[in-house]
Structure 1
Amino acid sequence: MKKFIAFILFLAVAVIVVPWLHPAKADQVNVYQDNQLVKSVVFKIGVSEYVVNGQTPGVKMDVAPFIQNDRTFVPVRFLGNALGVNNSNITWDNATQTATLKGAKATLNMTIGKAEVVSNGVTKAIDVSPMLVDPGRTMLPARFVAEGLGYQVDWDEATHTVICWPAGEPKPDVSAAVNYLVSKVTQSNPQGKPDIIVALDNLLGVSGHKSGSEWAYSLSNEEKNSNRDKSSFSYCANSNNGKILIGVDWAQILPDIRNVQLDLSPIEKVLNWRFPDQPAQVQEIMDYAWQVAEKTRSSDGLERLPLKYFNVGGHEVAVHSMGLSFVIVNISN
């Protein structure tokens, strides 16, 4: 009996002091923001605010998160800050178009147009790449950054929210934060715009309006005519099938368009946003778009280059000119 009791006491001590006798436990990562432990972060699509540790009001952002290729993109500085990386540890190399985040667990590098994340020098392929949006903001895929910095990530389809919490901990109750951000949608998006329209408006710095089954934006004739020496742009998008049309136009009253200053940057922004992993094909489309626009302008609209189709990642992109448009680009779903 004494031997049995001694054996039990030995096991009790061993469990305390011998690590391999303990049950396995996931690595827990403690991440801090302003010396406060970050237990949860919540982002919502289309809302330019995020919530840390359920504390409201949340932190304001100058660009709202959006969905592209089924991934949520968040501006790099705010994403890093939310996940405990202060501004001194977030850098941007303009020459290489690379963002670097130095977190407690890893240093991440992500480059515009490259579908990869480099963590502590090790490159991992991902299914999307970082992108630039107006006004010169670097947008990073939230999941890959959060996971690289030691977080678990969950997506709630019903509320279109991204929830992050430290790896190794149980998922926290973030219902209050989610409800707060959902309430913001009505305030910031009173028309109930679909995600694709919110993203286009943020990208182009405009506000589209519902037009039948579609959403559209264009300057009024009065606005065009008051600035008739410069081109304007318009867009039309179908939120149901994802089709986008964007064109560069001239004022209706102009008797001669040959001196109008062309600006095709809105088209290029939409193409880069829609196809962030296809810079060469975007450039090919833009080259032809400029040819079409220049031909229309130089001939005073009397001659137009033929309609041309491009295939980009399984999507059909048509480039042509008609009506009061120097050039129109149609992007299929």
Structure 2
Amino acid sequence: MCEDNQTHVTEIRLLGFQGLNKLKPLFFIGVFLCYMLILCGNLVIITLVATVDYLKIPMFVFLKHLASIDVLLTTTVVPLMLHSILNEEETLTFVGCIIQLYLFAVFGCVQCFLIATMSYDRYLAICAPLRYASLMNPQVCFQLVTGSWVFGILLITSELIAVCQFTFCGLNFVDHFFCDFGPLVELSNSDKSSFTIQDFVLSLFMIPFPFAFIVTTYVCISFNILKIASAYGRRKAFSTCSSHLVTVGTSYGTMITVYVLPSQYNSVNINKYRSLLYIVVSPLMNPIIYSLRNQNIQKALLKLLSNIETFS
């Protein structure tokens, strides 16, 4: 309960990026262009995988879902962030803040599981090539994608229920550009000791466990690649994993920087830009990585462009 001289928080003020001054237009244009590239690049991948028959294999099916997550995750945050850059802050209703927090957390959690699932796909392709088609059939792909969504929703929902039981009184400003768990929980007047334990346990399933699984699969993949006699065979086997490895590096690298590495009290602005790397840079890199390094994607993209040119 709030004290007599305090009121329940009904709105959340997001302070965004303060002090940009003359850099505000340049920063806005940069973020806006990145967002447009994220939408265009990932929507192109979704379209190609959905329409081109030879791309309807497990690796690209998972890539399509990862591209969808990237679009949803950035769209949850970036449009409001762009508005806050122009106005120097953004005001959301408390319910609106909770909805943004929930959607962002679910999409981020599912992204972690999908990237881990893609490493399992690469493990089967290299370590069990003769049984790959039977082990990674369309039904299994559907179950893995569905499982990622169900598990992510369950984890985040349980944590959000705990947050909604907190009491929020008095202060209503968050020194961030979107509603995230840490900054929002800090506003609460409730005892957070039990939530801290719950958050730690659930966080293990969101980042460290999937990352440990990815590392384990790639250790096994590396041993199997080293067993290949020819240098050409080793390069070919490694090339099938290279794009996913870069995705792991960009996605988990930025996530670990934001949510795992300790942050100092006076490094709020640093944490904002770390979050910006995760929300903007990582989704921007994925379509670039796969379009530059995968010949099948390049072939399908050239075919799409030629069809567009023919119709025009």
Q: Same fold (TM over 0.5)?
A: no
Q: TM-score, normalised by structure 2?
A: 0.28
Computing the radius of gyration from Cα coordinates, the structure with the larger value is 1
Whose helix fraction is larger, Structure 1's or Structure 2's?
2
Q: TM-score, normalised by structure 1?
A: 0.27
Bigger relative contact order, structure 1 or 2 (CA pairs below 8 A, ≥6 apart): 2
Whose strand fraction is larger, Structure 1's or Structure 2's?
1
